[in-house]
Structure 1
Amino acid sequence: MSVEQASAAADAAQVEAVVHAMWEALSARDWDALKTYLSADCIYLDMPVGPTAAARGPDDIVKRLKIGLEPLASYQNFPGLMVSNGVDVMYEHHEEWQWATGESAVLKFVSVHRVDGGLITLWKDYWDMGALANHAPPSWLADFANADMSWVFDATGLV
């Protein structure tokens, strides 16, 4: 292996470690730790709803994530395949959501992250919203509609 190849492999491993650590913090719902992996201008978006309902920056990203995850009785991320080119990471994984009312859902994701300078600068989640809507309690969408939406950022043209 050449010096360049070794350096690229080390960079890719470092990028993957950042993404793994961020997901471990999210799985623990450790919001303060999660923020430390996100750049000040990081953009997060759920691809099923598109770029007009993105969040930007660690504080707003956490506000956005809390809407769905904080009310859950149990939430866990299960790691899967991770592929990296040294900057961009594709991460296939699944989450298990359980509500206090007894409903549960298994959600399969592909998340795409861009890491620059040791921080995540872009985070896009691809998943099936119908899988969540079909298993969530009836109040789930109403709770989401009544949530603090101050985090909404239009990332059209940026992602």
Structure 2
Amino acid sequence: MPVDQIAREAPVEATVYGMWAALSARDWDAVKTFLAPDCIYLDMPVGPAAAARGPEDIVKRLKIGIEPLASYENFTGLMVSNGADVMYEHHEEWHWDTGESAVLQFVTVHRVEDGRITLWKDYWDMAALAGKAPPTWLADFAEADMSWVFDATGLV
């Protein structure tokens, strides 16, 4: 979404669109500016025991999957909010150096308070990604920095 259009959106929507635009650009420092200090991020297919908390750890978590890609882009879709809670239907395109690619359909739930995202839950089909990713994709996770892991069980 163009920046001038983001500025015209309601503040909650603008925060969410802004964070996703920064993530699509893989501008890790900008992503952090949209996240509250105690923001919780989790991939729902993995569950709350493997969440990340806080901008630094959330970016560490995101980098594991996205940073190694040859290209990555988020495409906007339907966004619905009730003031603080936002549901965002969108998709991502992942391309690896080895030639594989995947289109991932997402529904993301965000909570935005005081202009920052305090909760971020991604709902997506892990099997769809695993079926398109390079054979080393899951093994690469086993070697990644996992210092970001936060057990959010009971908090989300």
Q: Same fold (TM over 0.5)?
A: yes
1:129 is matched with: 126
Q: Return the match for 1:64 from 53, 61, 64.
A: 61
Q: Does 1:19 align with 2:16?
A: yes
1:140 is matched with: 137
2:3 is matched with: none
Q: Which runs of 5+ in 2 are unaligned?
A: 1-8
1:49 corresponds to which letter in structure 2? Answer: V
Q: TM-score, with normalisation over the residues of structure 1?
A: 0.92
Q: Does 1:149 align with 2:139?
A: no
After TM superposition, the structure 1 = structure 2 runs for residues 15-94 of structure 1, keeping only pairs within 5 Å, are 15-94=12-91
Q: Percent identity?
A: 81
1:66 corresponds to which letter in structure 2? Answer: K
Larger Rg: 1
Q: TM-score, with normalisation over the residues of structure 2?
A: 0.94
Question: Per-residue deviation at 1:68?
Answer: 0.1
- Paired with 2:14 and 2:138, the residues of 1 have a C-alpha distance of 34
> What is the RMSD computed on CA atoms of the aligned residues?
0.7
Q: Which runs of 5+ in 1 are unaligned?
A: 1-11
2:5 is matched with: none
Find the residue that maps to 1:134 and give its secondary structure. Answer: helix
- Paired with 1:71 and 1:81, the residues of 2 have a C-alpha distance of 28
Find the residue that maps to 1:91 and give its secondary structure. Answer: strand
Find the residue that maps to 2:10 and give its secondary structure. Answer: helix
Q: Deviations over 1:65-111 (max 9, x none)?
A: 00000000000000000000010000000000000000000000000
- Paired with 1:100 and 1:58, the residues of 2 have a C-alpha distance of 28
Extract structure 1 runs of 4+ deviating beyond 6 A. Answer: none
1:100 is matched with: 97
- Paired with 1:157 and 1:141, the residues of 2 have a C-alpha distance of 27
Question: Per-residue deviation at 1:13?
Answer: 1.2
2:108 corresponds to which letter in structure 1? Answer: S
1:145 corresponds to which letter in structure 2? Answer: A
Question: Per-residue deviation at 1:145?
Answer: 1.1
